[in-house]
Structures are given as structure tokens and as C-alpha cells.
Structure 1
């Protein structure tokens, strides 16, 4: 149960910040946001505030920001429609009601539509009950009521596609951007609450019968040099040892204010791919200090390092060093969440930060249906000077969604086989 709660909270947080980026920059550009949704599938909670419907949906596997002008958002009033109008004191239409019986529409102005434009010129024209042709201006905040469902109209200047390439690009890019920002703040919170690692090369524990123990190394020893090469950080020690597989090294340590020289032969180990690396049999946990400024610097460094690492893994996937079996879907992430949560809250927070960066990078890949794919189309539009046909672009994104769904099914099936069979 705890794993399920942790999984839902982490995914909810990642999706919320991703969609919040889209939402805030859409608002900044003057785009009407129809819905801000966390989760997919049936609604379990809904609240309307202003012109936006905020929903929480059943399946915690995604979310979306639905903007005006996208996905057949507009409603057209065809000639011959019979509608009911509510007008204000200035004779402007504030509400248009259609596809409902007349009994449901008392005390309204009825009109048989001849022409209407609810996007640019904002008017409705038609024949009233006395069969006279009349014309009304439509308010920018006019509400359409169809079968009891209310929708605010979206004038063209409030629609996504009316905005400049730069505004649209920033609105789409903001989602992944906010995932990087979230990761930074998670790392920052860890640094403020748990301290910032100093990476001083002080041995935490020595493994029995391994080279370090045989040479007389003890917990608490501070390594100052290896073969005369100065060691200032744990990374220096680890790097030298890993590159010295099978070699004999002289390690200088500081113990109780005195220097000791220890000689040991580095154990040779191999990775799954056959690469060699050295090991001397010590465990390490960095000392920590509580310094807000260093916490900020460390958070930025952690975000950068994790970003680079994920790109390296993507490169290995492209070159074939990693196979599709190395990918994890929701099932794999759930099982990893269970394992990481057992080590404590700070490990779980680190995992969440890594997932947030991963989500940001994955969404920026130039693939159809992803944010990166849409940005690629915007870049082509900027160079070409005019947008690509929306139907063609929509078809490309549709194919991309199908391929991504197939990939998700394959990855999920691999996860199920890995963990349950």
C-alpha cells in the first residue's frame, strides 16, 4: 500500500509540474486553457474556475492541458440551426443555447441561424420568430450551451494556433522545462534537509578479506594520496582505484593525526559487458554539511550530472550497447519505487528527481506525439515561413501515438516477465 501511495504521489507530482509549465506559459501567451487534467480516463474530481476546468482522473499515468483551438475544439453554428439567445443590456449575445427542446428554454430570443462567426468577427445572424433577418454581436465571453453542457467560446486571438511560433514553442517547451526545475528543487530540498555531501575521502567501512582490509586499512582512515598522487575527494580515490585493476598501489592514509602507508593489490572486476575495473573493498558514505548556498550549487550540479547521464544512456540505446530490455515502463518503475522506498525518504526523493529529468528529456525527443516532435514542426514552420497542413501534422502525431503505445506494451510485457515470471 505504501508503495502504491509513493508511486501515485511521485507520478502525480511529475505530471503536475509538467502540465503546470504548459498551463502557465499558455496563460502568459493569452491562450485559453479549456482543461487542466492530472491522470487519464474517467473523472473522479472536477472543479471549474474561470474559463478552465480542473480535473483529477482515475488512471495516474499522465495528464494534459487542453488549449482552445486544438483537437476540433471549435463549435460551428450551421445555417438552419434553431438557437435560443440571451442578450445583455447592450444587445450583445452572452449565451447561445441549442440542441435542447423549447420547453427547456423559456423567455429566450429564438433565432434560425443564417450565418455566424464565433471566432473572428463575433456575430450571429438569422431569422427571428417574426421571420425578420436580424444580426447580433457576440460577447467575447459568450457561453455555448449544447445539450446542457456549457462552453465558453474562444475568439481566434485566444486560440493556440493564432499565436506566434515563438509563443507556441515556449508553451510546449515549458512542460519539459518545468520537469528540470522540479528536479532542481527536489535536490535542493534534499540538500537543505539532509545536508550537502563534502565527498571527503574518509573510509566508512572496510570489507573483510578484501585488499584494503588485508593491507590494514580501517574505518575512519582519511586517504590523502595514492602512489604519490594527491587525493582530495572520494571521486579521486574511486577513479584511481577503478583504473588500477590488478595493480599494486601504495595508499597514504591519515589516522589519529599520523600518516600510514599501506600497500595493496587492487582486485580486478568485470562489468556485464566485459569491461575491467578495480576494487579494494571499502564502503563509503560522504560526510555532510548544512550550507544553503552549497545546497543550491549542488542541486544545479546534480541536475546537470543526471541530465548528462540520461543522454549517455540514450546514446548507448541508439548504438545498441543497451537493448530495449533495459527500458522500464510503469510496472518496472513501480517495482523500483518499492525497492528505493525501503531505503528511506531521501533515496525516494533522489529517485523522483531522476524520473523528473528523465520525463523532461523523453518529452524533448524529436518524435511525433511528443513535445519534441511538436517543437520540430514549429522549427520547420519558422524556416518555411508558414505552418504545415494541420491534417498532415495530425496524422504524423497519430502514427507517433500508435507507435509509442506499441512500445509501451512491449516494455510493460518485458517488465511483467522480468518481475513476475
Structure 2
């Protein structure tokens, strides 16, 4: 039920923008979107740890030295914030529509009866009917579903109709259930291909030290002289001898171990080096903090493909690199679930991340959308109740039993338990993530 959007293995690919090793910059999020109808193919989205790391010279940036990490919405500019939130919601809604359209088209093209196509969930805001299908827009745009009339008591279709989904051969049903995942995989590749054509292939060049993209006002770092754009080259007299995301962890660990004690930072600034002594403030848990955002120090440049074949080559390399990183990150999440369970968040956090990506870097929306598509595809293949993978698992059990279905009450019990779990966890995360937003915490 957890997807890691912060793969730890990064190569010259879109995965460079994602790193799970930064303690300061860690953010975890999970998004549920479901139909709670027993006769629907529903969508469950889960996203974990989407980290965007900015460099000294980001392409397409809107604001200097903005970290892509966000603990909550920034309402410093109402218009810009609203625009960014709408862009993030738009990306998420498009991904959901693509997923559900995959289910819908796979059924429609096979002549299978479909009764509903909904964008969002909850109360209906607008709807229309065409060819015996109800198309609706619902109040909460973070979900969607395709409904089938198989078990609808109000349907006038005979229960033995061969074009009901439940009466179709196993292979036909597998195509319908897996089509949402396939649609998201295709959409992710299309997004990456579009980025390669319009923006170019991101290429990373690493530099020594740890970048300080942002310094919070009135923090220990601000008080003691750290500036946005500074590069930390060493700590307590020890120069960094290597590059990489692990340097961020090293700096964070030193700061956390040194509340109210001087920490000597060697700073690269304006072509020269200066020493800055910072005295971390003490958190409620006894650890130190200085109020900065950190990221690995690198520069992103872009390489334009020379021809269409090279564009396909670039896109394929980016797509497979990102997919491998997502799968590896998911594996690491499950292997360390006791440490990561408390980090899971909900749709509010995803919108917050997407809004900050849109605000900081328009081009970053490409990575944001591609990552969410791949993660949605992966999570929906997990054999868990209320996911596409859970439905596929039941179909495979049926195939193993020689085409003999499980008793209806058993299937309904399995799916109902999964749906109830999704509802409970989803509501909990929705409330928790909302309360964790900066502007909400300020109000409280």
C-alpha cells in the first residue's frame, strides 16, 4: 500500500530529481481515490517520499533558491499559490482520468456493458448520459471509477447476459482490469517523450559540498550568518572529500547531535570560502535544528535530441531508469516498513508537493506527472483487496480452480474489508496531512 517516489538509485535520468536520503527534505505521501461501489473498477493511488532537489542553476525556475521540498502550502502569493495548486490538482486529475479511461476503453471495445464513468468521488456535481453510460463529475477530484452493472439491482440487463463483465472469459476480464495500469504506463512514457522533445534530456553535473537553497527567517542559520545559495564544504574542520546525496545526511546528523553547541561550517560563497559558526536551536525531542533546506550540490543542463530516433532513445532510457528506481524504492520501503509506516501521508500532501513543484519549476511538472503515473501503475498491481491487483488475484484463483469462481459472499467479504481499510486509513491521513500544513499549524 506504499509507493516510494524517492528512489535511492539515481542515474542520468529523471530519477535524479528524486532522492530518499535527505532527512531534512523527506516528505511522504499517500493518495487514495476510490469508488465505494461493489460493481466498479476503482483506483487506489499511493505515493511515498516525493523529493525534489534544486540545484544552483535550475532550469525554468520561477523563484531563486527555492527548495522543492514542502511541508505545507505557501500562501505568500495568493495568485501564484492558487495557480500552483490548480496545476497540481490538474495533473493528478489527468492521471486518474487516464487510468479510468484505460478500464473504460478496454471494456467498451470488447462490447462489455459499462454503466458509469466518474471523475472524482462523493456527491455528483454534474452528469450526463450517453449510450446507457452515466458520465459524472464529482465533488472530490482526487479519485475516479468505472462502474459495471453486474450486481446492480436497478439494472434491466439480464444477469446471464454474456456481455456483463462477470460473465466474460477470464482473459477478457484480465484485459479490462489491467488496462488502467497499462494506460498509466503509456501515459508516463508519453510525458517523458514530450519533455525530451520540448525541454531536453536533463544531464547532471555534480559539485563539491551541500547546497543551502533556503534559510528560514529568524532561524539559527539566519541569525548566525548563513545565506541562501551558500555551499557547505566542510563541518567542524573536516572537509568533504566526496560528492553525493549522503553529504546531506552527514550535515543533518552533525546538526541534530549539536543542540546549543557551536558547529563550524566551511562555506563556499561568491568564489571564496568563509567560516561560519552556527549554534543549532534545540527541538522538543532534544535534537538540534538550524532552519535551512539542504540539497546535493549539482547543476542540471539539458541535451536536445538530434532526431526523432534519438528522442525515442532518450525517452526509453529515462523511462526505464525511473521505473527501476521506483520499484527499488518500493522494495526498500517494504523492507523497512517499521521505520517508514509513520511517514505515509495522503492526498493533501501530494497536492502540496505538486503545488510547490509547479511554483518552483514548471518543467518539474513533467517529472511529477511521470512519477505519479508509474507509481499508480505499480501500486495497483499489488495483490491487495480494493486494488486492481487484488481483483486480478481473484481472477487468477478462479483460473487455478479450473474456471470455478469463489463463492460470491467470499469475494464480497474480501473486497469489502479492503474498501473499509482504505476508507479508514484515507480519512486518517487526510485529517493528519491537513493539520500538518504550515498555514494550518500557524492558525492553530
Q: TM-score, normalised by structure 2?
A: 0.59
**TM-aligned CA deviation for residue 242 of structure 1:** 4.2
Residue 303 of structure 2: aligned partner: 288
Unmatched 5+ residue regions in structure 1? 76-117, 120-153, 213-239, 246-266, 275-279
Aligned-partner Cα distance in 1 for 2:204–2:423: 46
State the Cα deviation string for residues 173-207 of structure 1 (Å, max 9, x = none): 1111111111111111111111223x375979998
State the Cα deviation string for residues 312-351 of structure 1 (Å, max 9, x = none): 2322332226422322211101111121111232101210
Contact 1:204/1:285 (<8 A) preserved: no
1:310 equivalent to 2:310? Answer no
Structure 2 SS opposite 1:186: helix
Aligned-partner Cα distance in 1 for 2:193–2:360: 19
Aligned in 2, Cα 1:39/1:242: closer, same or farther, shift over 3 Å? closer
1:348 equivalent to 2:346? Answer no
Q: Which runs of 4+ in 1 moved over 3 A?
A: 70-75, 199-212, 240-243, 271-274
Structure 2 SS opposite 1:15: helix
The equivalent position to 1:408 in structure 2, one of 426, 429, 432, is: 426
**TM-aligned CA deviation for residue 364 of structure 1:** 1.3
Aligned residues: 292
Residue 417 of structure 2: aligned partner: 399
Structure 2 SS opposite 1:345: coil
Contact 2:88/2:358 (<8 A) preserved: no
**TM-aligned CA deviation for residue 309 of structure 1:** 2.3
Structure 1 SS opposite 2:301: coil
Matches within 5 A, 1:231-380: 241-242=243-244, 270=250, 282-290=297-305, 291-320=307-336, 322-380=339-397
Aligned-partner Cα distance in 1 for 2:252–2:204: 30
Aligned-partner Cα distance in 2 for 1:325–1:61: 22
Q: TM-score, normalised by structure 1?
A: 0.62
1:33 equivalent to 2:51? Answer no
Aligned-partner Cα distance in 1 for 2:188–2:321: 12
Aligned in 2, Cα 1:202/1:361: closer, same or farther, shift over 3 Å? closer
Unmatched 5+ residue regions in structure 2? 1-81, 212-228, 235-241, 255-267, 269-295
Of residues 24-33 and 291-300 in structure 1, the stretch that sits farther from structure 2 once superposed is: 291-300
Aligned-partner Cα distance in 2 for 1:401–1:327: 18
**TM-aligned CA deviation for residue 411 of structure 1:** 2.5
Structure 2 SS opposite 1:369: coil
Aligned-partner Cα distance in 2 for 1:268–1:43: 47
Aligned-partner Cα distance in 1 for 2:427–2:345: 11
1:159 equivalent to 2:164? Answer yes
1:66 equivalent to 2:147? Answer yes
The equivalent position to 1:46 in structure 2, one of 127, 130, 144, is: 127
Aligned in 2, Cα 1:317/1:413: closer, same or farther, shift over 3 Å? farther
State the Cα deviation string for residues 274-306 of structure 1 (Å, max 9, x = none): 9xxxxx985311232134323322323333223
Contact 1:204/1:284 (<8 A) preserved: no
**TM-aligned CA deviation for residue 417 of structure 1:** 4.0
State the Cα deviation string for residues 116-168 of structure 1 (Å, max 9, x = none): xx62xxxxxxxxxxxxxxxxxxxxxxxxxxxxxxxxxx761110011111110
Matches within 5 A, 1:183-222: 183-197=188-202, 199=203
Aligned-partner Cα distance in 2 for 1:391–1:301: 46
